[in-house]
Amino acid sequence: MTEAEAEIHTEGRRKLVVGLGNPGMEGTRHSVGMAVLGAFAARLGGADCWRSDRHVSGEVILLEVQQTRVVLLRPRLLMNVNGVSVAKAAGKYGIKPEDILLVHDEMDKPLGKIALKHGGSARGHNGVRSCVDCLQTDVMLRLRVGIGRPSGKTSVDRHVLSRFNSEEQKVLESVLVQSVDLLISQLSQSDSPQDSQPASSPAGGRQAAQRREGWSENTAAQS
């Protein structure tokens, strides 16, 4: 365990921020969550600090935002099994599901729009669904980054796996700035008794079916 990892395990606020996506396809719409994390790391001077961690099947950066110890995670697994990486990281760093923030693409919002969602269903997003299944709860906060729906006869798969065109890139630059601002604001908020309670979905949320200890290094050791 590195010194930075040891500090993450000490008392204090700890958060896990995850950019959902497909490895090797960082420039596509479906992996815009990874682009947000890249911009976030760059804003805090950590653009070159990503390191591979086989125990969490992903790349991580450990940093601090306003006295909050933060783990940034880019899974190196396909989108539909991103949750495996998230669960491993949560176990390794001792982070509760309600302290996890997922950043992902959202077709129901146009490019240029972002929104926070407090828990609830995956709304058809395979990466979020994987996280819900692997963590056995749906309480995780989500930053939804709009990519819009496909036009004409373009299939959903082709749309989400395509890259932004030159005009869209200009909009994306502004989106990344806004997203990073929102992440920093969210991570800088003071915890209150109400904040410490798990968020609930419209149906009340799925409670963890097992204790967090069940995730820990037993899962990580399988990578």
30 in catalytic set: yes
> Which one from 9, 30, 104, 118 is the annotated catalytic residue?
30
Beta strands at 141-146 and 100-106: parallel, antiparallel or unpaired? parallel
Q: What is the 3-state secondary structure (H, E, C) of 23-81?
A: CCCCCEHHHHHHHHHHHHHHHCCCCCCCEEECCCCEEEEEEEECCEEEEEEEECCCHHH
Count other Cβ atoms within 10 Å, centred on residue 176. Answer: 21
Q: Which of 18, 2, 7 is nearest to 183 (CA)?
A: 18
CA dihedral 61, 64, 65, 71 (to 10 degrees): 40
Q: Which residues pair with 52 in a beta bridge?
A: 59
Phi and psi angles of residue 140, each rounded to the nearest 5 degrees, phi first: -65, 135
User: If DSSP codes are grouped into helix, strand and coil, which group holds residue 190?
Assistant: coil
Q: Are strands 68-75 and 58-65 parallel, antiparallel or unpaired?
A: antiparallel
Residues identified as active-site: 30
